[in-house]
Protein backbone atom coordinates (compact mmCIF):
# COMPACT_ATOMS: atom_id res chain seq x y z
CA UNK A 1 0.00 0.00 0.00
CA UNK A 2 2.81 2.38 0.92
CA UNK A 3 4.65 1.40 -2.23
CA UNK A 4 1.62 2.39 -4.38
CA UNK A 5 1.50 5.80 -2.68
CA UNK A 6 5.21 6.23 -3.33
CA UNK A 7 4.72 5.44 -6.99
CA UNK A 8 1.86 7.92 -7.29
CA UNK A 9 3.97 10.56 -5.52
CA UNK A 10 6.84 9.95 -7.96
CA UNK A 11 4.49 10.33 -10.91
CA UNK A 12 3.17 13.63 -9.49
CA UNK A 13 6.72 14.91 -8.96
CA UNK A 14 7.61 13.91 -12.51
CA UNK A 15 4.62 15.76 -14.00
CA UNK A 16 5.40 18.81 -11.87
CA UNK A 17 9.01 18.78 -13.08
CA UNK A 18 7.89 18.57 -16.71
CA UNK A 19 5.53 21.52 -16.21
CA UNK A 20 8.28 23.58 -14.59
CA UNK A 21 10.71 22.77 -17.37
CA UNK A 22 8.10 23.75 -19.96
CA UNK A 23 7.54 27.13 -18.26
CA UNK A 24 11.27 27.82 -18.05
CA UNK A 25 11.76 26.85 -21.69
CA UNK A 26 8.92 29.15 -22.77
CA UNK A 27 10.32 32.02 -20.69
CA UNK A 28 13.79 31.66 -22.19
CA UNK A 29 12.40 31.43 -25.73
CA UNK A 30 10.26 34.51 -25.20
CA UNK A 31 13.22 36.48 -23.81
CA UNK A 32 15.34 35.49 -26.78
CA UNK A 33 12.62 36.55 -29.21
CA UNK A 34 12.26 39.93 -27.48
CA UNK A 35 16.00 40.57 -27.57
CA UNK A 36 16.36 39.61 -31.23
CA UNK A 37 13.30 41.62 -32.26
CA UNK A 38 14.58 44.72 -30.48
CA UNK A 39 17.86 44.33 -32.35
CA UNK A 40 16.07 45.10 -35.60
CA UNK A 41 13.72 47.78 -34.26
CA UNK A 42 13.25 50.59 -36.73
CA UNK A 43 11.63 53.97 -36.30
CA UNK A 44 9.82 55.89 -39.00
CA UNK A 45 11.42 59.30 -39.50
CA UNK A 46 9.51 60.57 -42.55
CA UNK A 47 6.12 59.83 -44.05
CA UNK A 48 3.77 61.08 -46.77
CA UNK A 49 6.60 61.45 -49.29
CA UNK A 50 6.39 61.02 -53.02
CA UNK A 51 8.84 58.62 -54.67
CA UNK A 52 11.45 61.21 -55.80
CA UNK A 53 11.55 62.69 -52.28
CA UNK A 54 11.92 59.24 -50.72
CA UNK A 55 14.70 58.32 -53.16
CA UNK A 56 16.66 61.52 -52.46
CA UNK A 57 16.36 60.97 -48.70
CA UNK A 58 17.40 57.33 -49.06
CA UNK A 59 20.43 58.25 -51.17
CA UNK A 60 21.60 60.93 -48.71
CA UNK A 61 21.29 58.62 -45.71
CA UNK A 62 23.02 55.65 -47.32
CA UNK A 63 25.80 57.87 -48.63
CA UNK A 64 26.53 58.88 -45.03
CA UNK A 65 26.58 55.29 -43.78
CA UNK A 66 23.05 55.19 -42.34
CA UNK A 67 21.05 52.11 -43.30
CA UNK A 68 17.53 53.20 -44.30
CA UNK A 69 14.48 51.57 -45.82
CA UNK A 70 11.56 53.03 -47.73
CA UNK A 71 8.11 51.51 -47.76
CA UNK A 72 5.20 52.15 -50.09
CA UNK A 73 1.88 53.04 -48.47
CA UNK A 74 -1.12 52.77 -50.77
CA UNK A 75 -4.17 54.89 -50.02
CA UNK A 76 -6.74 54.43 -52.75
CA UNK A 77 -5.31 55.50 -56.07
CA UNK A 78 -2.59 57.58 -54.37
CA UNK A 79 0.63 56.09 -53.05
CA UNK A 80 3.01 57.68 -50.58
CA UNK A 81 6.30 56.52 -49.09
CA UNK A 82 7.78 56.34 -45.62
CA UNK A 83 11.46 56.19 -44.63
CA UNK A 84 12.61 54.26 -41.57
CA UNK A 85 16.01 53.81 -39.91
CA UNK A 86 17.22 51.88 -36.89
CA UNK A 87 16.36 53.42 -33.54
CA UNK A 88 20.02 54.07 -32.72
CA UNK A 89 20.61 55.91 -36.01
CA UNK A 90 17.47 58.08 -35.85
CA UNK A 91 19.03 61.17 -34.16
CA UNK A 92 21.92 61.27 -36.64
CA UNK A 93 19.53 60.74 -39.54
CA UNK A 94 17.35 63.68 -38.47
CA UNK A 95 20.40 65.91 -38.13
CA UNK A 96 21.68 64.89 -41.54
CA UNK A 97 18.36 65.55 -43.26
CA UNK A 98 18.05 68.93 -41.58
CA UNK A 99 21.51 69.93 -42.76
CA UNK A 100 20.75 68.81 -46.31
CA UNK A 101 17.32 70.45 -46.27
CA UNK A 102 15.62 67.14 -47.05
CA UNK A 103 13.00 66.33 -48.04
CA UNK A 104 12.71 69.34 -50.29
CA UNK A 105 9.40 71.06 -50.18
CA UNK A 106 7.45 70.36 -53.33
CA UNK A 107 6.30 73.49 -55.12
CA UNK A 108 3.05 73.10 -57.08
CA UNK A 109 3.44 73.68 -60.79
CA UNK A 110 1.02 74.49 -63.58
CA UNK A 111 -0.48 71.01 -63.60
CA UNK A 112 -1.09 70.91 -59.86
CA UNK A 113 -2.54 74.40 -59.59
CA UNK A 114 -4.72 74.55 -62.69
CA UNK A 115 -5.63 70.89 -62.38
CA UNK A 116 -7.12 71.48 -58.94
CA UNK A 117 -10.76 72.35 -58.53
CA UNK A 118 -11.22 76.09 -58.71
CA UNK A 119 -14.20 78.37 -58.39
CA UNK A 120 -16.73 78.30 -61.18
CA UNK A 121 -15.90 81.81 -62.43
CA UNK A 122 -12.47 82.87 -61.11
CA UNK A 123 -11.74 86.57 -61.01
CA UNK A 124 -8.86 88.15 -62.88
CA UNK A 125 -6.97 88.57 -59.60
CA UNK A 126 -7.34 84.88 -58.82
CA UNK A 127 -6.15 83.93 -62.28
CA UNK A 128 -3.12 86.22 -61.99
CA UNK A 129 -2.24 84.85 -58.54
CA UNK A 130 -2.58 81.26 -59.74
CA UNK A 131 -0.44 81.92 -62.79
CA UNK A 132 2.25 83.65 -60.72
CA UNK A 133 2.32 80.81 -58.20
CA UNK A 134 2.43 78.15 -60.91
CA UNK A 135 5.25 79.83 -62.83
CA UNK A 136 7.29 80.19 -59.64
CA UNK A 137 6.77 76.49 -58.89
CA UNK A 138 7.88 75.38 -62.35
CA UNK A 139 11.02 77.51 -62.26
CA UNK A 140 11.78 76.26 -58.74
CA UNK A 141 11.57 72.65 -59.96
CA UNK A 142 14.01 73.44 -62.76
CA UNK A 143 16.54 75.16 -60.51
CA UNK A 144 16.43 72.42 -57.86
CA UNK A 145 17.16 69.82 -60.53
CA UNK A 146 20.65 71.31 -60.94
CA UNK A 147 23.28 69.30 -59.05
CA UNK A 148 24.62 71.28 -56.10
CA UNK A 149 21.51 73.40 -55.54
CA UNK A 150 20.18 72.68 -52.07
CA UNK A 151 17.16 74.95 -52.14
CA UNK A 152 15.60 77.42 -54.56
CA UNK A 153 13.01 80.10 -53.91
CA UNK A 154 11.47 82.08 -56.75
CA UNK A 155 9.21 85.12 -56.45
CA UNK A 156 7.50 86.56 -59.51
CA UNK A 157 5.64 89.86 -59.72
CA UNK A 158 3.13 90.20 -62.55
CA UNK A 159 1.90 93.82 -62.36
CA UNK A 160 -1.68 94.58 -63.24
CA UNK A 161 -2.14 97.12 -65.97
CA UNK A 162 -4.55 99.92 -65.19
CA UNK A 163 -7.53 99.57 -67.55
CA UNK A 164 -8.03 103.36 -67.45
CA UNK A 165 -4.47 104.14 -68.51
CA UNK A 166 -3.79 105.81 -71.85
CA UNK A 167 -3.01 103.47 -74.76
CA UNK A 168 0.46 104.93 -75.11
CA UNK A 169 1.18 104.68 -71.38
CA UNK A 170 4.21 102.69 -70.41
CA UNK A 171 3.32 99.14 -69.57
CA UNK A 172 4.63 97.99 -66.16
CA UNK A 173 7.28 95.31 -66.48
CA UNK A 174 7.15 91.99 -64.61
CA UNK A 175 9.93 91.36 -62.08
CA UNK A 176 11.40 88.32 -60.39
CA UNK A 177 13.76 87.49 -57.57
CA UNK A 178 15.60 84.21 -57.00
CA UNK A 179 17.34 82.83 -53.93
CA UNK A 180 19.62 79.83 -54.34
CA UNK A 181 21.25 77.90 -51.51
CA UNK A 182 24.24 75.92 -52.71
CA UNK A 183 26.94 73.79 -51.12
CA UNK A 184 30.43 74.96 -52.01
CA UNK A 185 30.89 76.76 -55.29
CA UNK A 186 27.81 77.77 -57.26
CA UNK A 187 26.97 75.13 -59.90
CA UNK A 188 25.23 77.74 -62.07
CA UNK A 189 26.09 81.36 -62.77
CA UNK A 190 23.91 84.36 -62.03
CA UNK A 191 23.60 85.22 -65.72
CA UNK A 192 22.42 81.69 -66.49
CA UNK A 193 19.82 81.91 -63.74
CA UNK A 194 18.56 85.20 -65.16
CA UNK A 195 18.29 83.67 -68.64
CA UNK A 196 16.40 80.68 -67.32
CA UNK A 197 13.91 82.74 -65.31
CA UNK A 198 13.38 85.36 -68.01
CA UNK A 199 12.78 82.65 -70.59
CA UNK A 200 10.03 81.11 -68.45
CA UNK A 201 7.97 84.27 -67.88
CA UNK A 202 6.41 86.16 -70.75
CA UNK A 203 7.58 89.78 -70.97
CA UNK A 204 10.26 89.37 -68.29
CA UNK A 205 13.66 90.85 -69.15
CA UNK A 206 16.97 89.57 -67.79
CA UNK A 207 17.74 92.90 -66.18
CA UNK A 208 14.55 92.66 -64.09
CA UNK A 209 15.63 89.39 -62.46
CA UNK A 210 17.50 89.68 -59.17
CA UNK A 211 19.53 86.64 -58.12
CA UNK A 212 21.07 85.92 -54.72
CA UNK A 213 23.25 82.85 -54.26
CA UNK A 214 23.92 81.86 -50.65
CA UNK A 215 26.62 79.39 -49.74
CA UNK A 216 25.07 76.91 -47.35
CA UNK A 217 27.04 75.69 -44.35
CA UNK A 218 26.18 72.14 -45.27
CA UNK A 219 29.39 71.90 -47.29
CA UNK A 220 31.72 71.63 -44.32
CA UNK A 221 29.33 69.47 -42.33
CA UNK A 222 28.71 67.24 -45.29
CA UNK A 223 32.42 66.47 -45.57
CA UNK A 224 32.45 65.39 -41.93
CA UNK A 225 29.34 63.26 -42.29
CA UNK A 226 30.59 61.66 -45.50
CA UNK A 227 33.60 60.29 -43.61
CA UNK A 228 31.36 57.99 -41.62
CA UNK A 229 32.54 54.51 -42.52
CA UNK A 230 30.80 51.20 -42.43
CA UNK A 231 31.87 48.16 -40.45
CA UNK A 232 31.60 44.46 -41.23
CA UNK A 233 29.77 42.04 -38.99
CA UNK A 234 30.05 38.69 -40.73
CA UNK A 235 28.54 39.05 -44.20
CA UNK A 236 26.70 42.28 -43.27
CA UNK A 237 27.80 45.89 -43.73
CA UNK A 238 26.47 48.30 -41.10
CA UNK A 239 27.28 51.77 -39.83
CA UNK A 240 30.35 51.80 -37.62
CA UNK A 241 28.39 53.38 -34.77
CA UNK A 242 25.94 50.47 -34.73
CA UNK A 243 28.58 47.72 -34.64
CA UNK A 244 28.95 47.64 -30.86
CA UNK A 245 25.22 47.47 -30.20
CA UNK A 246 24.71 44.76 -32.79
CA UNK A 247 27.58 42.66 -31.44
CA UNK A 248 26.26 43.00 -27.89
CA UNK A 249 22.81 41.93 -29.05
CA UNK A 250 24.23 38.93 -30.91
CA UNK A 251 26.31 37.88 -27.89
CA UNK A 252 23.28 38.10 -25.61
CA UNK A 253 21.27 36.07 -28.12
CA UNK A 254 23.95 33.38 -28.33
CA UNK A 255 24.19 33.20 -24.51
CA UNK A 256 20.43 32.84 -24.24
CA UNK A 257 20.49 30.05 -26.82
CA UNK A 258 23.24 28.28 -24.86
CA UNK A 259 21.32 28.65 -21.58
CA UNK A 260 18.20 27.35 -23.29
CA UNK A 261 20.08 24.37 -24.76
CA UNK A 262 21.71 23.52 -21.40
CA UNK A 263 18.37 23.83 -19.64
CA UNK A 264 16.69 21.53 -22.12
CA UNK A 265 19.56 19.05 -21.85
CA UNK A 266 19.37 19.06 -18.04
CA UNK A 267 15.63 18.53 -17.96
CA UNK A 268 15.87 15.82 -20.63
CA UNK A 269 18.46 13.91 -18.57
CA UNK A 270 16.42 14.44 -15.43
CA UNK A 271 13.28 13.21 -17.13
CA UNK A 272 15.11 10.14 -18.47
CA UNK A 273 16.49 9.33 -15.00
CA UNK A 274 13.05 9.66 -13.42
CA UNK A 275 11.51 7.52 -16.13
CA UNK A 276 14.15 4.82 -15.61
CA UNK A 277 13.65 4.96 -11.83
CA UNK A 278 9.92 4.61 -12.25
CA UNK A 279 10.39 1.63 -14.56
CA UNK A 280 12.68 -0.02 -12.02
CA UNK A 281 10.18 0.61 -9.23
CA UNK A 282 7.38 -0.80 -11.37
CA UNK A 283 9.35 -3.96 -12.22
CA UNK A 284 10.35 -4.38 -8.57
CA UNK A 285 6.74 -4.02 -7.50
CA UNK A 286 5.66 -6.59 -10.02
CA UNK A 287 8.37 -8.99 -8.78
CA UNK A 288 7.20 -8.50 -5.18
CA UNK A 289 3.63 -9.10 -6.22
CA UNK A 290 4.67 -12.29 -7.98
CA UNK A 291 6.59 -13.43 -4.86
CA UNK A 292 3.60 -12.71 -2.64
CA UNK A 293 1.26 -14.56 -4.97
CA UNK A 294 3.69 -17.52 -5.05
CA UNK A 295 3.93 -17.52 -1.24
CA UNK A 296 0.16 -17.36 -0.89
CA UNK A 297 -0.19 -20.19 -3.36
CA UNK A 298 2.26 -22.35 -1.40
CA UNK A 299 0.47 -21.54 1.85
CA UNK A 300 -2.83 -22.44 0.26
CA UNK A 301 -1.54 -25.76 -0.98
CA UNK A 302 0.03 -26.56 2.44
CA UNK A 303 -3.22 -25.70 4.16
CA UNK A 304 -5.18 -27.92 1.81
CA UNK A 305 -2.69 -30.76 2.31
CA UNK A 306 -2.87 -30.50 6.10
CA UNK A 307 -6.67 -30.56 6.00
CA UNK A 308 -6.69 -33.64 3.80
CA UNK A 309 -4.26 -35.43 6.14
CA UNK A 310 -6.29 -34.46 9.20
CA UNK A 311 -9.49 -35.76 7.59
CATH of the domain at 45: 3.30.70.1530
- Please state the domain count of the chain: 3
Strand-pair partners of 72:
81
Contacts of 307 (CB under 8 A, 6+ apart): none
Residue 299 domain-assigned? no
**Which element (helix H / strand E) includes 239?**
strand 236-239
Is 266 a member of any domain? yes
Give this prediction's pTM: 0.46
Same domain, residue pair 92 and 131? no
Q: Are 57 and 103 in contact (CB under 8 A)?
A: yes
pLDDT > 70: what percent of the chain?
A: 69
* Whether 59 and 89 share a structural domain: yes
Average pLDDT, the chain: 75
CA distances from 88 to 55, 168, 249 (A): 22, 69, 13
Look at residue 141 and give its three-state secondary structure. Answer: helix
> Can you give the CATH number for the domain in which 149 is found?
3.30.300.30
Q: Tell me which of 226 and 177 has the higher pLDDT.
A: 177
- In 35-109, the DSSP E strands lie at 42-49, 68-75, 78-86
- State whether 187 and 97 are in the same domain: no
Segments forming the whole domain that contains residue 259? 252-288
Give the model confidence (pLDDT) of 59-88 as tens digits: 888 888 888 888 888 877 778 888 888 887
Same domain, 125 and 75: no
pLDDT top residue among 88 and 231: 88
In terms of domains, do 185 and 271 share one?
no
In a domain, 284, yes or no: yes
pLDDT in tens, 93-151: 888 888 877 887 666 655 555 555 555 666 777 777 788 888 888 898 899 888 888 88
Contact 229, 216 (CB under 8 A): no
- Pure H helices in the chain: 2-39, 51-63, 90-99, 110-115, 124-144, 190-200, 218-226, 243-310
Amino acid sequence: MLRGRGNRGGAVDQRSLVRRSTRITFALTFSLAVVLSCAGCQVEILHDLDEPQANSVLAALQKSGISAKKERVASGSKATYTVAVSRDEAPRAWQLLRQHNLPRRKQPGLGEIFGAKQSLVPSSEEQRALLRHALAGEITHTLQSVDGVREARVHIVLPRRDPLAAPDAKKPRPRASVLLKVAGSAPIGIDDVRKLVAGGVEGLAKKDVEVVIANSKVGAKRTTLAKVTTASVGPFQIAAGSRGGLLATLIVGVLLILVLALGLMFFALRYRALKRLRAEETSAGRARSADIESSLSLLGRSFDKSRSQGG
